[in-house]
Amino acid sequence: MFVIPLTTDPNQTFQCTIPIDGENRRLAFGLSYNSISKYWTMSITDPEERKTLIDSLPIQIGEFPAANLLEQFAYLKIGSATIVKVGAASEYLNPDDITLGSDYVLVWGDTIA
């Protein structure tokens, strides 16, 4: 499992090398906060091919087995991702513009088939 470094910057972009399915994979991320609806979205791009893999995926808490944000994208073989509560925030709330990266972290792992 790998923790993706996130901040509360409302429009953040970064690249990260993540161990997925026994290989190191470089992915580019774009995160945006919708202040009206009060939720985050994430876009994932393959920086080598400059190809958007996922666009505007809502980052929300879920209960297992539905907690894997990438479950419906298993065919892309980019792993699994889950928002995990680590701070004092209520476990039933979604990360907001103050708690992302501190009270809630994004944990990445191998592709779950």
Provide the domain count of the chain.
1
Query: Can you give the residue range of the structural domain that contains 99?
Result: 2-109
pLDDT band (50, 70, 90) for residue 64? confident
Question: Whole-prediction pTM value?
Answer: 0.90
Check whether 66 has a pLDDT greater than 80.
no
pLDDT tens across 68-97, in order?
Answer: 999 999 999 999 999 998 877 666 688 999
Looking at per-residue confidence, does 29 or 61 come out higher? Answer: 29
Check whether 101 has a pLDDT greater than 70.
yes
46 backbone dihedrals φ, ψ, rounded to 5°:
-85, 110
Q: What residue type is assigned to position 107 of the chain?
A: V
Q: What CA–CA distance (Å, rounded) separates 27 from 47?
A: 6
pLDDT value at residue 91: 64
